[in-house]
C-alpha cells in the first residue's frame, strides 16, 4: 500500500512533504478498524445496517486516533477521507471531487486494488485484469480520474505488484 501510494504520488509530482504524508497515511489508513471488532471484519454473511454503521466509523476513528499522537495530526485528514468518493457518495462526510484531499484520493485507489486482489472473508480475490477493469470503470465516479490514470499507467509499466495476502 505505502509503496503504491509513493509511486502514484510521485507520478502526480507531489512534493516531498506530501509524499511522506501519503505514504504514512497509506500505512495507517485502516487504524480505525481496531475499534470495529473482529466479528464484523471477519464476517462472511452480508453486514447488517448496524454493522455497516460500525464499519463506516473507522475512517473518522482513525483520524481521531492520529490527531492524538504527536507528529501524526497531518495524516488525519487523509485517513478520515480515504472512503470518500469523487462523486460525493462516500463516507464519512460525503466530500466530493477536489474537496477530498489528494492523498486520500490516492489511498482510495490503492486500497481498492489491494481489497480486490486478495481473498476476503466475504469475497474471493479478483484476477488482475478484472481488478484493473473495476478501477477503470469507477474512474470519475468513485475515483479521481487523474489518480486512476496515474495508477493504471504505473500498473501498465508493471510497477504496481500484487498485495501480500492477509
Q: Is the pLDDT of residue 118 over 60?
A: yes
Digit-coded pLDDT (tens) for 2-49: 999 999 999 999 999 999 999 999 999 999 999 898 999 988 899 999
What's this model's pTM, rounded to 2 decimal places?
A: 0.94
pLDDT at 122: 82
Quote the CA–CA distance of 117 and 158 in Å, as a whole number: 15
Digit-coded pLDDT (tens) for 40-93: 998 889 999 999 999 999 999 999 999 998 889 999 999 999 999 999 999 999
pLDDT at 15: 97
Integer angstrom CA distances of residue 64 from 34, 49, 59, 94: 12, 23, 9, 18
Q: Is the pLDDT of residue 166 over 80?
A: no
Confidence of residue 156 (pLDDT cuts 50, 70, 90): very high
Quote the CA–CA distance of 166 and 111 in Å, as a whole number: 13
- Phi, psi (degrees; rounded to nearest 5) at 116: -75, -25
Half-sphere exposure at residue 116, Cβ-oriented, CA atoms within 13 angstroms: 17
Amino acid at each position: 500500500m505505502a509503496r503504491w501510494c509513493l509511486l502514484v504520488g510521485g507520478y502526480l509530482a507531489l512534493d516531498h512533504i506530501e509524499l511522506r504524508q501519503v505514504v504514512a497515511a497509506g500505512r495507517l489508513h485502516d487504524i480505525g478498524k481496531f475499534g470495529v471488532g473482529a466479528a464484523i471484519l471477519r464476517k462472511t454473511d452480508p453486514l447488517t445496517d448496524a454493522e455497516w454503521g460500525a464499519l463506516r466509523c473507522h475512517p473518522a476513528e482513525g483520524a481521531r486516533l492520529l490527531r492524538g499522537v504527536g507528529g501524526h495530526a497531518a495524516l488525519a485528514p487523509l485517513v478520515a477521507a480515504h472512503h470518500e468518493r469523487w462523486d460525493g457518495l462516500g463516507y464519512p462526510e460525503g466530500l466530493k471531487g477536489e474537496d477530498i484531499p489528494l492523498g486520500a484520493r490516492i489511498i482510495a485507489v490503492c486500497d481498492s486494488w489491494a481489497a480486490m486482489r486478495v481473498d476476503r472473508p466475504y469475497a474471493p480475490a479478483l484476477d488482475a485484469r478484472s481488478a484493473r477493469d473495476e478501477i477503470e470503470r469507477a474512474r470519475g465516479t468513485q475515483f479521481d480520474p487523474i489518480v486512476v490514470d496515474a495508477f493504471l499507467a504505473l500498473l501498465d509499466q508493471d510497477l504496481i505488484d500484487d498485495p501480500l495476502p492477509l
